Structure 1
Amino acid sequence: MKSSGGRPRTPLDRHEWIEAAINILAEQGVQGMRVEVLAKNFGVTKGSFYWHFKDRQDLFSAVLQTWRDGRIRDINKQTIATPGNEREQLLHLIDVYGATRNRKGISIELAVREWARRDEQAAAIVAEVDAWRLECTRKLYLARGLSDDEARSRSVLLYAYVFGQSLMVCEGFDSRLADFKRWIADLIVHA
């Protein structure tokens, strides 16, 4: 993120500030998203920040909106299934979101959720994203022939499992962990 030689690079755009703030959010939480820190990392003055943002709250709103839009775009992409392939899409969804390989994504998710515990705007965005997640998977379960109540229940179970197991470090628990995860995914998706 720093420019070479301490000199400003080409003019920064709003998107670059937002992406830098998201990276800081993942590493340090919302308290780390300070104008001074971002400007220093870019090798620019705070004036450059204020060219693109009214204030720090404007940056916060932009970060939340960017996170929201990215999550919804990804959810839409991950929950599209051709008719008859809903089971495979649900298993794919569990695999993608339950993978521990995306540490940055998990860090951002956790930071936004922590932020939401203390901020109404962040809480509203998280609630919107979670509702979208649950609704998209509910539709997949409905297409598989489940009742609305069971589709809703399994959607909650799917995400509870995905997020819960992504936070755990259980590789040393049993050498058959990969088999266990496949078995659990089959239970969640089974209809």
Structure 2
Amino acid sequence: MKRLRRSPYNLLNSYMNFEKKILDTSTVKERKLLKPSSVAMVKPDTGVDIKKKSAYYVIRDCATIAHDYIVHKCYSSIKDPIGTLKGKFSKADIIDFVARSKGDQHTKQLLYIIFSDIFRIEADDWTPPPEPIAAEELDIDADADGEDIYGDYGYGEDDTFDSANTVTVPVKPPVDLGDGEAVIAKLISVFGATKEK
């Protein structure tokens, strides 16, 4: 599939607010590469005198990689990124990010990295259910004759079989990352996104 060249002005002005907020939160020096890389991936000879044809393509492709993946590095550099980024995104930022993740492989990878952290935090917060209470051992005499050995089968008030089949699920099942609405709702909840910002 042929990749369309992107205009650096459209890249930085019309969207990517989600990613820009990650870059703004990070402290690594490479966080400042987004704007220069968006220029160099479209016009690699900006500010330099290219003497070999291959240099043009090396600069262009390195800039494209920097542009597409610098956010991943910056996100990973943040200690406790989920907690640190809480409250930084608007609902519109999240909706735009999830929509773009369907078409951009690098955006989808960032989404998966974020959900990996969300699932890890939820798993760390999980506590196992208490051990089931041991049922009384029954005194069974296989050779019993004299008593009504079938008397209370299925009729007893103290029927322990109902509780034996109950299962407590302590954690909600993970979000289906193919369900855009569920992904958006989870990100809004996790990051405490508001309408404005």
Structure 1 and Structure 2 fold alike (TM over 0.5) = no
TM-score (norm 1): 0.39
**Larger Rg computed on CA atoms:** 2
Q: TM-score, normalised by structure 2?
A: 0.38
